[in-house]
Structure 1
């Protein structure tokens, strides 16, 4: 569901709606607690899960790309398995990075397929088995931390340092998929993504409740020869928290004359693109979106919309590298 404003209230000042919905949040937490105890499939190769405790964007896709690049540099054959949120394919099926369509396999798998063999499967265990048969030496689960169908050897919990764990309550009273203290019991690493100031805020509010080995990082625009300074742009995004994307553009010096926040994974129709293109023309602005949203654009419009590409930069990758080394097959 779309993030609600009261989800970011202080745990000490929940507000009316959070308190009214709190009993439903407790039921949601109880259902999740029972679900995660179910037995899962034990793969024949190491399984790494990139997950989170909250609904909405935390930075899982940039984290998955960063982990893939580390493994590729070590010569490890890593395959990705994703549920393919937003896609129609049941799977398991391998994503074609060139001919694949976001409406069939989902936008995130289509993006990840450019880096490593990627499988879409509503049944994650079936996807893992398909990846094993195809020769995967390591399998990366894109999301699925609360899904018990596959046993994880390394679970990386990703959190947006600026938002933390919100008001500390479970859906729909807050943003959590499960209570923090319960979720971290199954995690191995906590990756907080945000500015130095955001990291300090997270430390003050949540570090005691998440006593895991910690990795800090931030998202940085990938320099691709594009100078955003002074560029008039109409920015649109259909990610968990579009405001982060708009702020990044402003930080790069772009003149953001209008923003359009879409729902996460929202399909982008010809009608919507035509409207955005007309508005941009009237404003004398360039259309700009995220890398993930660009994949969902109708093909006829892609060359007219720029993408701001970001990548995860780790402050100190040593804890992550150490955790990966313990899993990797001997070479």
Structure 2
């Protein structure tokens, strides 16, 4: 699905016409968020968004994976497996599985951290625990009440913010903002934009941490594209952020091609991109998530050598603050669970 352009403009006639539907959707979503979820028995840290589409959850999950391992934990990611056909629960194997079955984000994450996909999140918790998880990292699911979260970390893009701040389908919000703010334990603002300023101020007013972060290009990717003219394409929630990251890193982006989030590329589409790039002397570049979706597609496999991924990591302005927050939340979660058992 491509996000409607009016979501990221001041409230328009279209958004106003859809507000009654948004009010109903929002009321149901807010009521669900009040439900008491299943206790996983081990700490659960959720990485989520207030809105649909991309904001930087995947690099945040990878950064938290690294941090948790430094703290001596054994994290396993729990994902719904959006975009994949399988219900699960199943542990993702990047050597055997493809994005069409398990989803592109889980397949990409599984290169770094164990990942379990499950539409039934309680079943996913059981599988993660059987695999030795000491902590579960939920990739999305902030608004879903099935599992009780010990800490919810929300990611927001500093350039896009919350768009028109209306509830779906009038805007991108998954639920009304007040109940979402109330259940936020920390906010991560990615990038230098100011569109998230009001949300950050609201979280800070609750004496909850607001962390600033930015996407940092991998050194090997920078070297690979130095002096190259590129055709960049992406089928993610916010392709514009990918293009801005490329240009911010000094990559000469000559042309952009945008596809819907989780787009299933056809052989014809990939061949057309390769032909266009070859005709104009351009290098094809896309996201790591798109590469994960392309891998394992038999009709496209032979063309992969003509496409390169631009790798990034998430760097925090105050990594010590994040480390303290995570360590404190783990301690508090284990204390609460111990007291509940005794």
Identify whether the pair has TM-score above 0.5, normalized to the shorter chain.
yes
SS at match of 1:296: helix
1:257 is paired with a residue of what secondary structure? strand
Alpha-carbon offset, residue 156 of structure 1: 0.2
Pick closer, same or farther for the CA change 1:47–1:206 going to 2, 3 Å. closer
1:5 aligns with 2:31: no
- Map 1:1-331 onto structure 2 (within 5 A): 1-10=1-10, 14-195=11-192, 198=193, 200-203=194-197, 205-210=198-203, 211=205, 212-224=208-220, 226-297=223-294, 298-328=300-330
The answer to whether the 8 A contact 1:49-1:143 is kept is yes
- For residue 257 of structure 1, report the CA deviation from its aligned partner: 2.2
Root mean square deviation, CA, Å: 1.6
TM-score computed with the length of structure 2 as normaliser: 0.90
The more displaced of 69-78 and 244-253 is 244-253
Deviation at 1:209, TM superposition (A): 3.5
Distance 1:165 1:172 in 2: 13
Q: Distance in 2 between matches of 1:49 and 1:219?
A: 20
Q: Which 4+ runs in 1 deviate beyond 6 A?
A: none
Following the alignment from structure 1 to structure 2, what is the Cα–Cα distance between the partners of residues 131 and 314?
28
Cα distance between partner residues in 2 of 1:135 and 1:202: 37
Structure 2 CA distance, aligned partners of 1:231 and 1:142? 34
State the alpha-carbon separation in 1 of the partners of residues 44 and 142 from structure 2.
Answer: 12
Q: Deviations over 1:52-74 (max 9, x none)?
A: 10111010001000000111222
How far apart are the structure 2 equivalents of 1:53 and 1:282? Answer: 42
* Deviations, residues 84-113 of structure 1 (Å, cap 9, x unaligned): 011111110000022221111011001111
Q: Shift in Å at residue 21 of structure 1? A: 1.1
Any stretches of 5+ residues in structure 1 without a counterpart? none
**Cα shift at 1:227:** 4.4
Do the aligned partners of 1:235 and 1:289 also contact (CA within 8 Å) in 2?
yes
Mapped to 2, the partners of 1:207 and 1:93 lie a distance apart of: 36
Distance of 1:320 and 1:251 partners within structure 2? 25
Instruction: Please tell me whether the aligned partners of residues 94 and 120 of structure 1 are also in contact (alpha carbons under 8 angstroms).
Output: yes
C-alpha separation in 2, matches of 1:149 and 1:306? 38
Q: How many residues align?
A: 323
- In the other structure, the counterpart of 2:339 is none
Which 5+ residue runs of structure 2 have no aligned equivalent? 295-299, 335-342
State the shift of 1:273 in Å: 0.8
- Paired with 2:97 and 2:271, the residues of 1 have a C-alpha distance of 23
Give how far 1:222 is off.
1.1
Normalising by the residue count of structure 1, what TM-score does the alignment of the two structures yield?
Answer: 0.93
Q: Is the 8 A contact 2:218 2:313 kept in 1?
A: yes
Q: Are the aligned partners of 1:228 and 1:253 in contact in 2 as well (CA < 8 Å)? A: no
